[in-house]
Every structure is written in C-alpha cells, then in structure tokens.
Amino acid sequence: MSMTDFASLVKDDRVHTALYKDPAIFEEEMDRIFNNTWVWVAHDSDIPTKNSFKTSWVGRQPVIVTRDKAGEVHVLLNRCRHRAASVCEKKKGKASVFVCPYHGWSYDVDGKLRKVPHAKGYDDSFDTADFPLISLRTESYNGMIFATFKQDMEPLVDFLGSARKWMDLFMKQGAGFGVKTLGEHKFRFPGNWKIQLENTTDAYHFPIVHKTFLDSLDAETEDVFDVLGQGGWVEDLGNGHSVMVMIPDLIDLEDNLDAPIPERFAAVAKELADEGYPDDEVRKIVRAVGGSGFNLNLFPNVACSMAFFRVLRPVAVDETEITHVAIGMDGGPVAGNRARLRLHEHFQGPMGFGTPDDAEGWERVQRGARAGDDLWIMLNRGVAAPEGRPEPGHNAGDVSAETGMRAAYQMWKRMMTA
Amino acid sequence: MSGELAEPIDVTATQDCAPTFDEAIAFIWAEADMLDRLDYKPWLKLWTETGEYIIPVERDAPDYADALNIVLDNQEMRESRAKRLLSGFSMSSAPPARTVRTVSRFAIQAQDDTSITLRGAQMLAEYKYQHMRFLPADMLYRIVRGPDGGLLIDRKVVTLINAEDFQFGIGYLL
C-alpha cells in the first residue's frame, strides 16, 4: 500500500475500518511505528539492582532489559548471534551472564559476546566483537524505560514533551517513597491494538461498560468515579500522546491533604497511624493509595492509567496482549501496598470487575468491523473543554471528547506516511 | 443399606468430626456442578464466613495478601462478584462463556480434627463466540464441617496451569 493510501484512511474526524483488520496495514505498522519510535519496555523497579533483568517486547521483537554493574540500562534483542536461539526465557531475575542453551555462546549483561565454546573451530578472522547481542537505543524518564530501533530518533524527553508534566504528577503515587511495580495481570483479546489504545482515552464508555463496577462501590466512592460529571477534559499533548482528566480533584496527589479521609480508606489510615506514621504522612500515603484521576496515553504502547501502567503489545492484526502493571510505594508501608493490590484486583485483570467487560467490548468491535468494507470508525465526539483547564494552545475537548483518539491517529498518519 | 451403617451413633460421630475424603469429593463435585450451572446464590452459602477464594498470578507466592492475584476474595467480595455476574449488566457475563468442568486427581494434603485439605486437578473448557478455550488448574480445597453438619469451603485456591501468563477475559467463576 502506498503512503497516499495510508493518508486517505485517516481523516480529521474518522478512520477507515481497514485500520483494524487489514493484515498488510498491520505489517506496515510494525515497521513504520513499532520499529521506528520510543517503545516502553520496563519500569526502573523491574530491574532494581545490578545484574537484574526483565524480558519484554519492542513491537513483535523479544528483548531483554538489563542493568549492568555501573547501573546502566541495556535493551538487547533476545536472540543469539550464532543461530538465533533465545538466550533468556525467564520473565525476570538476576544474571551476570546470558548463555545460549544451543551451543553455549555467553554474553555479558551489556550484550558483549564473552566466550564461544570450542573456538578453535573458527578461523583467525572470527572476532567476538563482531557478534554482541543487538543493543537498542535506550533512554528513560522518571523511572519509565523506553527503547528504540531508530538510531536517530529524537531524545526521549523531547518525544514525551508536554506529557512529562503528567508523568511527574502520576509518579506522586509513590507518596515520596518512589514508585515500584508490584505485579502484573496479562490478558489478550481477539482484536486490533488500536482498539485498546483508543480505550485508554475513552471516558464515554465508562458508566455504560463499567456499570457493575460502579454498582459494587460504596456511595461515596461511586461519586468519585462519576467520571463524566466532574468537569474533566481531554488534551492533545503532541506526538500522539494525550491526557484524559476524569477526576480533577486527583490531578495532584500532594494537594488537598487536609480533606477528610474517605470512608473506604479509614481502615488503612488507622493501620498506618497504629504503625506510628504521623498524621500528615498518613494523609499523603492514603491519598496516594487511591491513585491519580487521569489517564495519560503515551503513543504507541503505554499508558499511565489512574493507578497502574497499561501496556499493549500487538500480536497480530486481530490479537493484542495487554499487561496491567500494579504499582505501589517502593519501601512504603505494607498496609498501603496491600490496599493498592486489592484495589487493582477489584477492577483489573482477567476476572476483575472492569477488565473482562472492556475486553469483551473490544472483541465486539473487531467482530463488528468485519461488516461494512466502506464504513468508517467515527471519532467526531466532543465539545469545548472546561475553560482554563487545558494548557493554552493545546487542542482539547470535554472529558468524553474523542480528542485523544484523534491525536493518536494523526500521529499514526504522520508515521505511516513519513 | 445394612443395619450397621444405619446405626444412629455413626451419624452423630460423622457430624462432629472432620469431613471424610469421600464426603469432601462429593461436596467438590456438587460445587463444580453448581458453578457450571451458574448457580451462584446457593454457591455463596457453601463458604465459611472467613473463607478465602483465591486465583493467584504467582504459582508459589509466599503470601497471597502481599502479591497481585487474579482473585483474592473474602465473603464481601464473593457476594459482590456473584451479584455482578448475575446482574445482566456485565457484557462479559451476560451471557458468560458456556463451561464444562471436571475435578479429579484428588489427594489428601492435610487432615486434622476439624478439616480436610485436598489437592486436585480441574479441567475446564469454555465456549463463546466460536472460541473453545481450555483452562486446566491445580486446585486446593480446605473443607470443614458447618454447624448443621453440612460441609463448607474454608479455602479454595485455583492455580491455573498458565497463571503467570496471559488469560482471556473470564466472565464466570472458576
């Protein structure tokens, strides 16, 4: 498909259904988008010490994220340079060397080829320096580690741009202890990756799809989750990134610390007080435990979504894997982190009160998209954002506007036609 | 039935003591049948008040309370979950996938004066939207005798064969 064709599939207020179901477009996306920009691979706390590692993905390519003795992070293709066997099949752990199980080639954590068994079988021209694990460019911001195949990609901080402010706000959930990943829910749905990308910036579905989640809350908390009724907004942050503020009161978790502690956190507040935390610390921790009031979508594969990281991985044109990473306070009180784990389990995961309904909705989109070859996905919803809330100069709309989706698809168009 | 088995003293003894292996198995089969029939309201009554229903992510978590789980339900969460699944407003469970399950390979893990703890294997097939999926799991049941002589679940741990890997949405109870 030519670049002109890609351009014609994305209009200002709609995208063509082919974007969900054409395998040729999917193949091009893997090349032009996932191999061509910053892709989130890990959080700093996934590899907390020297020689710790985590396996991850950049698009469809398996990688190992490592931390070397000097603390530097490396993202390496998980493929032996000899005959391609994967050199690591663990999810995470500690290792000072990666040994290929097939012929025993061993690699340092920075990717350098350390040793080749029975080296005499190679002639003098063989140089281990020619065969390191392939290393991707790697940069991080506020604990979030990204990698890219594109050697001349702009610096990560520039790529994130206006999104950085929201990442900083999001990390206040560490309550001063720092953010730590606590565990992962992984699930798949038979549908295109962009359906999930859209959903993170879709407040419109919340009261409908998540009615049973809302019904399971106490009245006070149900009011907090009235996401369409609190004067929120959606703001285009550039480069396909966007933020959807659903609960403006929970933008800055260090504000309003004098407000009464919500009933649902009374038990954890008491536990913290009993452990000896002073009142101001208890308030700060409890407010952090409740999570942020916004979803920050970072194009193309990660979101800082209220209280967790939501990572998408395209598997096929009609299959996507989602990881919901629970986060808590690094070295913070056990009671606070337990409360966060229970809150996460309540909504997220394959049997959460929210996720299965999202997944079913996305599957229904993919099933429905089989019909109507000339029909379009409509992204024309939205009225003006509440005055004075979005940053001046940013394109924005009300909380249920499809502004964030339009932003992501304009970035898609830019990258697919570059 | 032989006169020996019908003696009242045996009944009294059975009702006071820990559940037997055979009783526990029959009880687990009845529970499995209830779950396949989506009979969740009576299912809620099969539990002790402090009973824990756990579907872990980590196969060997030292303490489920400090780990992320797929499900870690106390009585309140079980009630809330059953209500949600039966409400008709959750699109993943209205209707849910059809399920057929069997539980077997039972072995006694522990036994004391009041309880029996069994390991087992569950083979569950689900079907929805032309997808057939298979969700095998290692099971652990701690079963006690309730005040009326019937059996109750005090702990049920469903460790899916691929617990730490991806699942698809599950709109029913395991």
Q: How many other CB atoms are there within 10 angstroms of residue B11's CB atom?
A: 12
CA proximity to A381, closest of A250, A244, A247: A244
Rounded Cα gap, residues A148 and A155, in angstroms: 10
Residues A85-108: what's their mean pLDDT?
98
Residue type, B44: L
B53, B66, B91, B126: which to substitute to probe chain A, counting the most A Cβ within 10 Å?
Answer: B91
**Residues of chain B contacting residue A349, judged by C-beta atoms under 8 Å apart:** 57, 68, 70
B54, B59, B90: which to substitute to probe chain A, counting the most A Cβ within 10 Å?
Answer: B90
Residue type, A374: D
Rounded Cα gap, residues A377 and A297, in angstroms: 20
A212-237 exposure pattern, b = at least 16 Cβ within 10 A, e = fewer: bbbebbeeeeeebbebeebebbbbbb
Ramachandran region of residue A278, left (φ > 0), alpha (ψ -120 to 50) or beta? beta
Residues A181-201: what's their mean pLDDT?
97
Q: Using an 8 Å Cβ cutoff, are A45 and A179 in contact?
A: yes
Q: Which helix (H) or strand (E) holds B127?
A: strand B115-128
Q: Using an 8 Å Cβ cutoff, are A140 and A73 in contact?
A: yes
Q: Tokens standing for B110?
A: 């522990």
**Is the model's pLDDT at B12 over the cut of 60?**
no
Strands (E), A2-119: 10-11, 14-16, 39-43, 52-58, 61-67, 73-77, 92-94, 97-99, 106-108, 113-115
Q: Do A359 and B92 touch (CB under 8 A)?
A: yes
Nearest-CA distance from A394 to chain B in Å? 36
**Is the model's pLDDT at B8 over the cut of 50?**
no
CA proximity to A93, closest of A52, A46, A138: A52
Q: Do B68 and A182 touch (CB under 8 A)?
A: yes
Task: Tell me what pLDDT residue A373 has.
Answer: 86
Task: Tell me what pLDDT residue B10 has.
Answer: 46
Please tell me which residue, B65 or B6, carries the higher pLDDT value: B65
Handedness of CA A118, A121, A126, A131 (dihedral sign): negative
Q: What is the pLDDT of residues A217-248, one digit of tens each?
A: 998 899 889 999 999 999 999 999 999 999 99
**Residues of chain A contacting residue B72, judged by C-beta atoms under 8 Å apart:** 342, 345
The rounded mean pLDDT for chain A is 96
Q: Which helix (H) or strand (E) holds B73?
A: strand B69-73
**Is the model's pLDDT at A3 over the cut of 70?**
no
Round to the nearest angstrom and report the end-to-end CA distance of chain B.
Answer: 36
Q: Using an 8 Å Cβ cutoff, are B138 and B167 in contact?
A: no
Q: Does B168 touch chain A (CB under 8 A)?
A: yes
Q: What is the pLDDT of residues A282-294, one digit of tens each?
A: 999 999 999 999 9
Task: Tell me what pLDDT residue A97 has.
Answer: 98
Please state, for a pLDDT cut of 90, what percent of chain B lies above it: 87
Task: Tell me what pLDDT residue A224 has.
Answer: 87
Q: How many other CB atoms are there within 10 angstroms of residue B46's CB atom?
A: 18
Q: What is the pLDDT of residues A28-49, one digit of tens each?
A: 999 999 999 999 999 999 999 9
Interface of B with A in 62-101 (CB under 8 A): 65-72, 77, 80-81, 83-84, 87, 89-93
DSSP annotation of A31 reads I
ipTM of the complex: 0.94
Q: What is the pLDDT of residues A328-373, one digit of tens each?
A: 999 999 999 999 999 999 999 999 999 999 999 999 999 999 999 8
Nearest chain B residue to A212 by CA distance is: B84
Task: Tell me what pLDDT residue A1 has.
Answer: 64
DSSP annotation of A140 reads E
Q: Which residues is A304 bridged to in the sheet?
A: A296, A309
**Is the model's pLDDT at B133 over the cut of 70?**
yes
Q: Does B9 touch chain A (CB under 8 A)?
A: no
Task: Tell me what pLDDT residue A4 has.
Answer: 65
Q: What is the pLDDT of residues B140-174, one digit of tens each?
A: 999 999 999 999 999 999 999 999 999 999 999 99
Q: Do B171 and A356 touch (CB under 8 A)?
A: yes
Nearest-CA distance from B128 to chain A in Å? 11
